[in-house]
Amino acid sequence: MINPKSIAVLPFVNTSPGTENEFFCDGITEEIINALAKIEQLKVTSRTSSFFFKGQNRPVAEIGRELGVANLLEGSLRVSGDRLRISAQLINVSDDSHFWSESWDRKLEDIFAVQDEISLRIADKLREQFGHLDIADQLVQAPTGKVEAYRHYLKGKSLFNRWNPEDTNQAIGYFEKALQIDPDLIDAHTGLADAYSFLAVAGFAPREIAWAKAIESIQRAKALDPQNAPLNYLLANQAFFTEANFGQAMWYGQQAIASKPTYAEGHQFLAFLFMLKDDLKKAGEHLRYARSIDPLNPETKFYQAYFLYRSQSFDEAEVLLEQLLEANAKNLPALITLSYVFLKTRSFDRAETLIVHGEPDGIMPDEKLGLTCLLRVMQGEKESYSPLLAELETNASGDTSFQAHAYLFFVYCTLHQEEQAFSILEKLFQNQSSILLLAFGDPLADYLRSSTRFEQYRQRIYADAAPAATSSRRNSAELSESEADQSLQKLADFMAAESPFLDPSLSLRSLAGQLEMHPNQLSWLLNEKQGKNFNAYINAFRVEHFKKLLADPQNAYISLIGLAYESGFNSKTVFNTVFRKETGMTPREFQKSSSLPDK
């Protein structure tokens, strides 16, 4: 069953002349996603899965089903000079009904205030319709006081999200321009770090130089806000890929989701780390959460395939990996993992086609050599693998020959050469090799698990992480029993004396203001103590008021819908739906059953 408190923010449509403000639309969309994701009881689809539908004209029900959400937010943005116009509307996926829409005309310099206002309005409407949400007074903090710096950052972010070296290098230029205007813009620092680490890990730039630049940006971001979730995610990657420090990587990964519990990338990375540690239960928990909020992200799908591979569910892993490669033949992690699956299932012909005869983009020479050698060893062709093994051993003599080390480790495990395997494993510690860290518990190295030394190395490699900081958030809504009783009485008295429900524009936030309560407290009170969301609670009063008006002979000349409007309803459809839900009858049926004259 789909959670009614769930939403996907679809990419806002750029209605400005030309395409130069497309990046701005994407940035607004992403900021609203990030803002709503701060509400812990609300399930918000992550950016990657929401942006899967960019430029597509798909039915609402189909999008909702694929993303697993009950509500969609659509919007548009138009920039003209120093002015912007934003329109947004909420759609109920189940019946394709639009239950809220609004527009804003503001100065460009007010962009952060309007993002906050939109996010709060959306959250309020969802809370009124579907039940309690604990909403902060402010969801969007201005990242900078300089809009031009923000524009450069958004341009860089838009380019980086294309995940290729050319656009990434352009993105770096925009991040640097943003920092020239505002050196304290932390998002630009983490953007730079993310870009350089991508170039380093993917092999699109000299590894040491790119990582040095990434670490420099990471340290600058850390000085600005050490709790920042993307920063801690980057620190986790740095610890893993440059230091092979599993414990530190785990600690920073946990810090990332402690700071932002809805951070999909953090959950993906923690799932990956727990897979390496053979804690498949915890890996599965993080992976399920990542899949629930980011189901269409290829990275999420890869981690699911890798989870199946590490669980030795090779047939299921193969299906997902084939799907990933069908969508993107250059998906190198999927290709390498699929080659591992073929080796483990002894599908040597398929492995031969993929490894030996294929020419995958981006594969390192030592990786192809290592895979080919491993294939020949498994086939038992000593004459074929002996020269390959000799070449691999020669290549592995260098301290930074990380790929050669890992495949030599696999070959020694396959040949049941325990001493040599543990000897090469020492390079993990000597050279801080993340590739060997990945290889240690891999199914291709299962032979070592029977060794008495395996557990010793396991404890040494997977050093316990320091406990992660827990979120400092507290539930600002919950009241004590005595406070709740007093507040309920105050609410009942106010509803009877002031009839605020007659105002069709009444909102939970405005009613809370009249009661001098925090909106979170009123929302909690209605849902937990009255068993109703805000709309159901208010509409019940409106229905009762309608009945009184209907029974008054002085109103005989007023139509049923006219009386509904006088009772606070502002929609015929909503009135008829609510009335039937409250009474089990249509308004006309109720009129006849009460022996009241027809209108």
Q: Delimit the domains of the chain by residue range.
A: 6-142, 364-466, 481-593
Query: What is the distance between the alpha carbons of residues 564 and 580, in angstroms, rounded to a whole number?
Result: 13
* Distance, first Cα to last Cα, the chain: 42
Q: Which pLDDT score is estimated for 285?
A: 95
What is 329-395 written as a DSSP string? TT-HHHHHHHHHHHHHTT-HHHHIIIIII---TT--HHHHHHHHHHHHHHTT-HHHHHHHHHHHHHH
- Amino acid 598: pLDDT: 63
Return phi, psi of residue 79, to 5°.
-110, 130
pLDDT of residue 353: 92
pLDDT at position 193 is 95
- The answer to whether residues 292 and 304 touch, using CB atoms and an 8 Å cutoff, is no
pLDDT of residue 596: 62
Per-residue confidence (pLDDT) for residue 470, from 0 to 100: 46
Given a cut of 60, whether residue 599 has pLDDT beyond it is: no
- Phi and psi (nearest 5°) for 518? -75, 140
Among the listed residues 160, 172, 157, the one whose alpha carbon sits nearest the alpha carbon of residue 210: 172
Exposed (0-12), middle (13-18) or buried (19+): which is 205, by Cβ within 10 Å? buried
CA atoms of 569 and 547, how far apart (whole Å): 13
Q: Identify which of 322, 325, 320, 282 has the alpha carbon closest to the alpha carbon of residue 303.
A: 320
Share of the chain above pLDDT 90, in %: 61
Q: What is the pTM of this model?
A: 0.79
Please state the rounded mean pLDDT for residues 527-534: 90
Per-residue pLDDT at 466 exceeds 80: no
Please give the backbone phi and psi of residue 77, each rounded to the nearest 5 degrees, phi first: -140, 135
Per the CB < 8 A criterion, the answer to whether 127 and 535 are in contact is no
Residues sharing a CB contact under 8 Å with residue 588, sequence separation 6 or more, in sequence order: 560
Domains 6-142 and 481-593 equal at CATH topology level: no
Q: What is the pLDDT of residues 418-435, one digit of tens each?
A: 999 999 999 998 888 888
Once rounded to an integer, what is the mean pLDDT over residues 473-492? 76
pLDDT higher than threshold 90 for residue 321:
yes
6 beta partners: 43
Q: Which two tokens stand for residue 95?
A: 């019946």
pLDDT digits over 360-403, tens only?
Answer: 666 788 889 999 999 999 999 888 889 999 999 998 887 778 88
pLDDT given for residue 339 in this prediction:
96
Q: Which pair of structure tokens corresponds to residue 55?
A: 């430029």
CA distances from 481 to 484, 491, 513, 518 (A): 5, 15, 22, 17
pLDDT of residue 224: 94
Checking if the pLDDT of 105 tops 70, the result is yes
Percent of the chain with pLDDT over 70: 96
pLDDT for 233 = 95
CA dihedral 41, 42, 46, 49 (to 10 degrees): 130
Rounded Cα–Cα distance for residues 468 and 486 (Å): 39
Residue pair 139/120 in contact (Cβ under 8 Å)? The answer is yes
Q: What is the DSSP code (8-state) at residue 286?
A: H
The fold of the 481-593 domain, in CATH, is Arc Repressor Mutant, subunit A (1.10.10)
Q: In this predicted structure, what is the pLDDT of residue 474?
A: 42
User: Residue 357, class by beta-carbon neighbours within 10 Å (0-12 exposed, 13-18 middle, 19+ buried)?
Assistant: exposed
User: What pLDDT is attached to residue 515?
Assistant: 87
- Would you tell me how many other CB atoms lie within 10 Å of the CB of residue 454? 17
Exposure string (b/e) for 399-435, b if CB count within 10 Å is 16 or more? eebbbbbbbbbbbbbbeeebebbbebbebbeebbbbb
Choose between 343 and 484: higher pLDDT. 343
Convert the pLDDT of each residue in 48-95 to its tens digit.
999 999 988 899 989 999 999 999 999 999 988 889 999 999 999 998
- Where residue 471 falls among pLDDT bands split at 50, 70, 90? very low
Options 1.20.1250.20, 3.40.50.10610, 3.40.50.300, 3.40.50.800; CATH of 6-142: 3.40.50.10610
The number of CA neighbours under 13 Å toward the Cβ of 599 is 20
CA distance 509 to 137: 11
Arithmetic mean of pLDDT over the chain: 90
Rounded to 10 degrees, the C-alpha dihedral 269/275/278/279 comes to 60
Q: Tell me: the pLDDT tens digits for 2-61?
A: 899 999 999 999 998 877 788 888 988 999 999 999 998 899 999 999 999 998 889 998
Which pair of structure tokens corresponds to residue 486? 């007093």
| Cβ 411 vs Cβ 374: under 8 Å | yes
Residue 573 confidence (pLDDT) above 50 = yes
Q: What is the mean pLDDT of residues 552-568?
A: 90
187-201: burial string, b at 16+ Cβ within 10 Å, e else: bbbbbbbbbbbbbbb
pLDDT score at 472: 43
**Which of 140, 131, 86, 136 has the alpha carbon at shortest distance from 108?**
86
Q: Which residue has the tokens 């609203």?
A: 32
| Residue with token string 């309690």 | 132
